Amino acid sequence: MAWRSTGVSNSELVENLVRNGMMKDPRVKAAFLKVDRAHYSPRSPYEDAPQSIGHSATISAPHMHATATENLIDYIVPTDARPAPRVLDIGSGSGYLTHLMAELVGDKGLVVGVEHIRELKELGEKNMAKGADGRALLDSGRVKFGVGDGRKGWVEPAREGEEGGGEGWDAIHVGASAKEVHEELLSQLKSPGRMFIPVDDDGAGWSQHVWNIDKDENGNISRKRLFGVRYVPLTDPPV
């Protein structure tokens, strides 16, 4: 049903995602309505399909971004126990999902997008700055982009006014297929916390599945395989 979610406008795309069962949480819908995919997709922005953004990278199909956000939503939105959610977006690419999650973390939250190619890091920043809401988020410090090896995660000090920050990530989204669930990412996941990550089943990239990796309040790890995918690999940057 996913391919039938294509629309002629951002709002129609979102409504079709809801109608086809790809988006169920009203908080996710509100964020998708607020962020115009046309700022991030180089062509046919309301088509429910992945598109190249250069450097052997893609912007995922909207239904995949919806699925990722739905799976992470309870770890992204602020609560009494988690007033300042911290979210790491590895392989941030176009910056689209980074922006979507930034709309959900609240005034005290933080989202960091990490890319291993500087031009893609700069692309994400440039795309976010196309709209007033995106510029405001960047100016506020609620969104940051960095260049680094996503397999090693990212250490980000608490920003001013951030409560309980600087100690890992409540949610980690990985937008490229990893050969394994890297220990650095597990160690940076808070207790409780959740990681949404595609992983190679065979180490060669021919078979990939998305997993939810949960860490409970006692630090215990559980893993749930969700569905098969085809992602670009989480690898070294090009030489």
Using the structure block, give the residue that is written with the tokens 């395989």.
225
Query: Residues near 158 by Cβ (< 8 Å), separated by ≥ 6?
Result: 164, 165, 166
The Cα–Cα gap between 127 and 53 comes to 12
Read off the pLDDT of residues 133-157 as tens digits, 9 standing for 90 and up.
Answer: 999 999 999 999 999 998 999 999 8
Residues shown for the chain: 239
To the question of domain 51-229 being in CATH 3.40.50.150, the answer is yes
Query: Residues near 61 by Cβ (< 8 Å), separated by ≥ 6?
Result: 2, 48, 49, 50
Read off the pLDDT of residues 36-72 as tens digits, 9 standing for 90 and up.
Answer: 999 999 899 999 999 999 988 899 999 999 999 999 9
**Domain limits of the chain?**
51-229
- Long-range contacts: 219-223, Cβ < 8 Å, 24+? 219/191, 221/186, 223/181
Query: Residues near 126 by Cβ (< 8 Å), separated by ≥ 6?
Result: none
Residue 175: band (very low, low, confident or very high) from pLDDT cuts 50, 70, 90: confident
Active site residues: 60
Read off the pLDDT of residues 183-219 as tens digits, 9 standing for 90 and up.
Answer: 999 999 999 999 998 888 765 546 788 889 999 999 9
